[in-house]
Amino acid sequence: MEWKKSHKLFKKALGLIPGGVNSPVRAFRAVGGNPVFIERAKGSRLYDVDGNVYIDYVLSWGPLILGHAHPEVVNALKKAVEKGTSYGAPTPLEVELADLVLKAYPSMDKVRMVNSGTEAAMSAIRVARGFTGRDKIIKFEGCYHGHADGLLVKAGSGATTFGVPDSPGVPKSYARNTITVPFNDIRALRTVIEQEWKSIACVITEPVVGNIGCVLPQPGFLEKLRKLTKDHGIVLIFDEVMTGFRVSYGGAQEYYGIKPDMTCLGKVIGGGLPVGAYGGKKEIMSMVSPEGPVYQAGTLSGNPLAMTAGIETLRILSKKGVYDKLEKHAAMLEKGLIDAAKTAGVKTRFYRAGTMFCSYFTGTHVVDYTTAKTADTSKFSKFFSSMLDRGVYIAPSQFEAGFISLAHTAKDIEKTVRAAYESFLKVK
Ligand code: KE4
């Protein structure tokens, strides 16, 4: 493939935008080479500025579960934009999307719209702190909940349970309030909670970790997490920004049958426009301004275009048979990729929850950040480049999840599996 125009654009972008991108992972630094610049997208396809075509398994990092430029979403947006783009006043659309979300997530009595997953997670944490009067939070190693200061924290060294900043610019004082434990490690979690519960406001987790690739909760982990938090008056926040409407219509909480106290959503509920949301039980959400004292606001929160895209997306997703079709194609892709790696003689571990998945270049069973990092990232980089060259666009990092959409066909998956087999042979 030729990428002359992309390279020229990237060179220009590097002089104007930090790293040439508006979000770090897009720069392809984890896989080497330069990012391709996208001209347009339709269905399961991306079209770059050099005229190359790709089957897309990134789908804007999850939101485009219907596929790109779904005609019904596009038509609804065309009509909506004629009525204006934002009013800074309540609209029937935000009432409609709130109603759809609450019907799909019975653990939530009330929900507030924001503009990103980061805002959803940071706001949910502030409300949990306001509700409990406690300052500390627990997160799991490798989980990503957006880039708010208190969440860019890694486990402190040695016995200390206090976090240390994971990025310059995050004050140590913020990091000290964030405790990090390994995902799926209920013993470590229990120890910290038994020692510190009086100062812990919440545990926030991705119920399926999509930011270390795709790490599934081990049997019983979520149940024990739920019991431990309930027994100690700790708010359990499921960050379902990625898993929401993705792992199933009712998210991971429906898939695993666990009721969190609060939920964060994003991505799919915006249908590709900027939306985040957080919600929970009424006694907790009554803390949120102007109903309660915990302040949170946003100029474009609930804006009519994002609401329109979200409503149309959920309307289509709620139709009978949609998730059966998604499941059928996701299972076909899973089988194809596992068989391709095996036939090529490459050691991989494949994990999937609904239509999010990851193939790790390791023979180790992946249950947390440490085991995920046994993956051979140089093999992954070669695999990534070979797939790109064969017209298959996967996430440019071993530690990101892949996604399929309603627009992906059996033919797309057959082509993907063939490209994967040839690419596995190349990395062997
Ligand atoms: P945003 O602020 O990027 O909308 O959402 C943050 C966020 C919160 N919670 C979870 C579980 C998430 O996966 C995310 C964002 N996901 C990344 C993908 N790893 C977005 C891609 C990017 O950062 O460019």
pLDDT of 12? 98
Matching CATH topology for 4-69+320-427 and 71-317?
Answer: no
Exposed, middle or buried, 156 (CB in 10 Å: 0-12/13-18/19+)?
middle
Which one from 48, 56, 239, 368 is the annotated catalytic residue?
A: 239
Q: For residue 410, report the distance from its CA to the centre of ligand 1, in Å.
A: 28
Which atom of ligand 1 is nearest to 266's Cα?
4
- Helices 186-196, 221-231: axis angle to 10 degrees equals 10
Of residues 394 and 428, the one with the higher pLDDT is 394
Exposed, middle or buried, 399 (CB in 10 Å: 0-12/13-18/19+)?
buried
pLDDT of 155? 74
- Domain layout of the chain by residue ranges: 4-69+320-427, 71-317
pLDDT of 154? 86
Q: For residue 297, report the distance from its CA to the centre of ligand 1, in Å.
A: 20
Which one from 267, 360, 376, 382 is the annotated catalytic residue?
A: 267
pLDDT of 248? 97
What's the pTM value of the predicted model, to 2 decimals?
A: 0.97
Across the chain, mean pLDDT equals 97
Which residue's CA is the closest to the ligand 1 atom numbered 20? 61
Is the pLDDT score of 159 beyond 70?
Answer: no
Phi-psi label, residue 366: left if phi above 0, alpha if psi -120 to 50, beta otherwise: beta
Is the pLDDT score of 179 beyond 80?
Answer: yes
Exposed, middle or buried, 19 (CB in 10 Å: 0-12/13-18/19+)?
middle
Active site residue 144: yes
What is the third-level CATH fold of 4-69+320-427? Aspartate Aminotransferase, domain 1 (3.90.1150)
Q: For residue 272, report the distance from its CA to the centre of ligand 1, in Å.
A: 13
Does residue 25's CB lie within 6 angstroms of at least one atom of ligand 1? Answer: yes
Q: For residue 146, report the distance from its CA to the centre of ligand 1, in Å.
A: 6
pLDDT band at 158, cuts 50/70/90? low
Exposed, middle or buried, 140 (CB in 10 Å: 0-12/13-18/19+)?
buried
Using one digit for the tens of pLDDT, what is the confidence trace for 238-278? Answer: 999 999 999 999 999 999 999 999 999 999 999 999 999 99
% pLDDT > 70, the chain: 99
Does residue 270's CB lie within 6 angstroms of at least one atom of ligand 1? Answer: no
Q: For residue 11, report the distance from its CA to the centre of ligand 1, in Å.
A: 26
Which residue's CA is the closest to the ligand 1 atom numbered 21? 61
- Residue by residue, what is the 3-state secondary structure of the chain? CCCHHHHHHHHHHHCCCHHHCCCHHHHCCCCCCCCCCEEEEEECEEEECCCCEEEECCHHHCCCCCCECCHHHHHHHHHHHHCCCCCCCCCHHHHHHHHHHHHHCCCCCEEEEECCHHHHHHHHHHHHHHHHCCCEEEEECCCCCCCCHHHCEECCCCCCCECEECCCCCCHHHHCCEEEECCCCHHHHHHHHHHHHHHEEEEEECCCECCCCCECCCCCHHHHHHHHHHHCCCEEEEECCCCECCCECCHHHHHHCCCCCEEEEEHHHHCCCCCEEEEECHHHHCCECCCCCECCCCCCCCCHHHHHHHHHHHHHHCCCCHHHHHHHHHHHHHHHHHHHHHHHCCCCEEEEECCEEEEECCCCCCCCHHHHCCCCHHHHHHHHHHHHHCCEECCCCCCCCEECCCCCCHHHHHHHHHHHHHHHHHHC
Residue 427: beta bridge partners? none
Does residue 146's CB lie within 6 angstroms of at least one atom of ligand 1? Answer: yes
Which atom of ligand 1 is nearest to 267's Cα?
4
Q: Which residue is listed with tokens 């200061």?
A: 149
Which atom of ligand 1 is nearest to 206's Cα?
11
Does residue 303's CB lie within 6 angstroms of at least one atom of ligand 1? Answer: no
CA distance 21 to 36: 11
Does residue 266's CB lie within 6 angstroms of at least one atom of ligand 1? Answer: yes
Active site residue 227: no
Tell me which residue of 201, 210, 333, 348 sits closest to 280, measured CA to CA: 201
Q: For residue 335, report the distance from its CA to the centre of ligand 1, in Å.
A: 27
Using one digit for the tens of pLDDT, what is the confidence trace for 351-389? Answer: 999 999 999 999 999 999 999 999 999 999 999 999 999
Does residue 145's CB lie within 6 angstroms of at least one atom of ligand 1? Answer: yes
| Mean pLDDT of all residues in 339-358 | 98
Using one digit for the tens of pLDDT, what is the confidence trace for 300-320? Answer: 999 999 999 999 999 999 999
Q: For residue 405, report the distance from its CA to the centre of ligand 1, in Å.
A: 18
Does residue 263's CB lie within 6 angstroms of at least one atom of ligand 1? Answer: no
Is the pLDDT score of 75 beyond 60?
Answer: yes
142 phi and psi angles, rounded to 5 deg: 90, -20
Which atom of ligand 1 is nearest to 146's Cα?
6
Tell me which residue of 370, 325, 372 sits closest to 351, measured CA to CA: 372
* Chain Cα centroid distance, residue 203: 18
Q: Which residue is listed with tokens 């949609």?
A: 322
Q: For residue 117, report the distance from its CA to the centre of ligand 1, in Å.
A: 6
Does residue 142's CB lie within 6 angstroms of at least one atom of ligand 1? Answer: no
pLDDT band at 164, cuts 50/70/90? confident
Type of residue numbered 186 = I
Is the pLDDT score of 162 beyond 90?
Answer: no
Does residue 144's CB lie within 6 angstroms of at least one atom of ligand 1? Answer: yes
| Mean pLDDT of all residues in 10-34 | 96
Which residue's CA is the closest to the ligand 1 atom numbered 22? 23
What is the third-level CATH fold of 71-317? Aspartate Aminotransferase; domain 2 (3.40.640)
Does residue 241's CB lie within 6 angstroms of at least one atom of ligand 1? Answer: yes
% pLDDT > 90, the chain: 96
Is the pLDDT score of 131 beyond 70?
Answer: yes
pLDDT of 157? 67
pLDDT of 160? 59
Token duo for residue 16: 């104007």
| Mean pLDDT of all residues in 402-426 | 98
pLDDT of 428? 87
Is the pLDDT score of 51 beyond 90?
Answer: yes
pLDDT band at 221, cuts 50/70/90? very high
Is the pLDDT score of 334 beyond 80?
Answer: yes
Which one from 144, 256, 351, 393 is the annotated catalytic residue?
A: 144
- Residue by residue, what is the 3-state secondary structure of 45-59? EEEECCCCEEEECCH
| Mean pLDDT of all residues in 75-84 | 98
